[in-house]
Amino acid sequence: MASYKYCLCFTRKFRWNDAEPPADVKAAFAAISDGGAQIGPQQLRRFLAETQRETAATDAYAERIIEQIRQQRHRQLLTKVARPLISVEDFYQYLFSDELNPPIKSQVHHDMTAPVSHYFIYTGHNSYLTGNQLSSDCSDVPIIKALQRGVRVIELDMWPNSTKDNIDILHGRTLTTPVALLKCLKSIKEYAFVASPYPVVITLEDHLTPDLQAKVAQMVTETFGDILFYPESDTIQEFPSPESLKNKIILSTKPPKEYLEAKSFKEENRSVNENVSKEEEGWGKEVPDPKTEMKSYEHEDDENEKDHDDDDADDEDDGQKRLKSSPVEYKCLITIKAGKPKGTLKDALRVDLDKVRRLSLSEHQLAKAAASHGGDLVRFTHRNILRIYPKGTRVTSTNYNPMLGWMHGAQMVALNMQGYGRSLWLMHGFYRANGGCGYVKKPHFLLQEGPHGEVFNPEADLPVKKTLKVKVYLGDGWRIDFKHTHFDAYSPPDFYTKVGIAGVPGDTVMKKTKIIEDNWVPVWDEEFTFPLRIPELALLRVEVHEYDMSEKDDFGGQTCLPVSELRPGIRAVPLYDRKGEKYKSVRLLMRFEFV
């Protein structure tokens, strides 16, 4: 008798069900519908006022929302009826729409008439690099991407080209391939105001001879024309406001060495040459060797670390060539001057009541300054601009935590926009504030002194000012945006959410939900409480991960939201990928409440 072997092959089917509206949503609907099956504009307006704290909502506004809900729900234009109504399912879909029910305000609402130094400004570092700091291509493409995202400060490092008759943009003394200055300028002009009408600052690191500086002046004036802002005088006591600089391009750079030497002889011979390089403090720095630096980029600074970013020390021969003063047509274009300080750190941070300026510190220098001269840092930023940049050993374009700079009032906390990771997620989230215009008004405590000359101290033991309650109901959209085998080849994913705060040390914390197994639409229904000492600087951090027993947990999305911008009530929260790009469908349903 023949024998047979049977192979039983099992194929796991990826099934899912749409999640039921959470109990809070059903209860809210029941409360406003008085037990009925549908609600109209008046009932929706009541919900918007009582639960969502949108007290200015009118019946007409609620009626428009209902029409949008019905159109979005049914994917077609519906004929108007005498009394438009929506069901609990429609109501739930409305709450879960980040287009109709976003988590933060979407309009510019800060006072934009104060001096530029009163704002945090969305700032990029080495904006022309496509990848690492030592060997990647230089291009206008990352500049365009940054401007499209809303970045307002673009950094260009200017060097003579190989024939010394034109200007290249590149990371000097590395293996990066150059891009022409003119190409970068034209792209800046084209994309400067696509995301925001507020001014774009170009910080120039200048390694040019006077004849090439004159060529830069010609390129800049011809390219930008009347959108280029010209300072009214050689020295200003207060920076202009973002409102007064709308749709304008501003240049910022620092005086050359010959200007500093000549200043004592002839005050009116002011010239501006080199950009505030990453060695503004006056401490000499080394240049990275591409062959050795790649090996050490992950290591933290040690006591004798050198910052290897943009060079300040000219070669002796090059210094001889630069003894001539910069051309007048170049000098007159510089609005934000960045004088190179001499002496101690306290000297560098001394406030001059007769003029304002810009100073740059590396992240390493900032950490040391915050520990020993925190009050001087804050006081300096009341009127002057402080720029922070990544340490030179971050050759793969990683980033540092920007919070320390913001806590001390630094307006230009510069990150590598071509990288990604949690530091950049914080940056993207921070500048979602104020309608995403790239300028965020600093809180009042970072702009003034107390009655005895005291200034804000982020390390102080501060009392709780406000408490934020966050409820994570559920999530959806992964089944649309991801392949069904992305997280697990044989079963649906096991999602959990991490929720926390990034802010001053006393506010910083991270918590997480339970793991929901085998479900594309996880329902957590968990609440977290965050007492906040400085809510004005706090960011709500949200990350979703898929639990993996044997390997590293898979990434399922993230977002950071300014706590000061959160809209109370039940809100749809869209998530973003590792590089900060918004997913098409992935989102969470959450509730925010301040007590």
Q: Which residues are catalytic?
A: 125, 171
d(C-alpha 423, C-alpha 431), whole Å = 13
* b/e code 297-328 from CB counts within 10 Å (16+ = b): beeebeeebbbbbbbbeeeeeeeeebeebbbe
Angle at 430 between CA 427 and CA 436, to 5 degrees: 105
User: Position of tokens 């709500």?
Assistant: 540
Task: With H, G, I as helix, E, B as strand and everything else as coil, classify residue 86.
Answer: strand
* E strand spans, 244-381: 249-253, 334-337, 358-362
Q: Would you call 308 helix, strand, or coil by DSSP?
A: coil
CB-neighbour burial class of residue 473 (10 A; exposed 0-12, middle 13-18, buried 19+):
buried
Tally the C-alpha atoms within 13 A of residue 14's C-alpha that lie toward its C-beta: 18
172: region left, alpha or beta (phi > 0 left; psi from -120 to 50 alpha): beta
First to last CA, the chain: 80
Q: Residue 282 is encoded by which pair of tokens? A: 């006056």
**Residue 13, exposed/middle/buried by CB under 10 A (0-12, 13-18, 19+)?**
exposed
SS3 of 215, please? helix
**Cβ(341)–Cβ(282) under 8 Å?**
yes
Taking the C-alpha atoms of residue 386 and residue 253, their distance in angstroms, rounded to an integer, is: 13
Cβ-Cβ contacts under 8 Å for 279 (sequence gap 6 or more):
285, 307, 309, 310, 311, 312, 313, 362
User: What's the gap between Cα 519 and its chain centre?
Assistant: 33
CB 301 within 8 A of CB 393: yes
- 3-class DSSP string for 398-459: CCCCCHHHHHCCCCEEEECCCCCCHHHHHHHHHCCCHHHCCEEECCHHHCCCCCCCCCCCCC
Q: Tell which phi-psi region holds residue 489, choosing left (phi > 0), alpha (psi between -120 and 50) or beta.
A: alpha
H helices within 18-75, ranges in order?
A: 23-33, 41-50, 59-74
Contact 541, 502 (CB under 8 A): yes
In whole angstroms, give the CA distance from residue 265 to residue 261: 8
**CA 550, CA 548: separation in Å to the nearest integer?**
6
Q: What is the CA radius of gyration of the chain?
A: 27
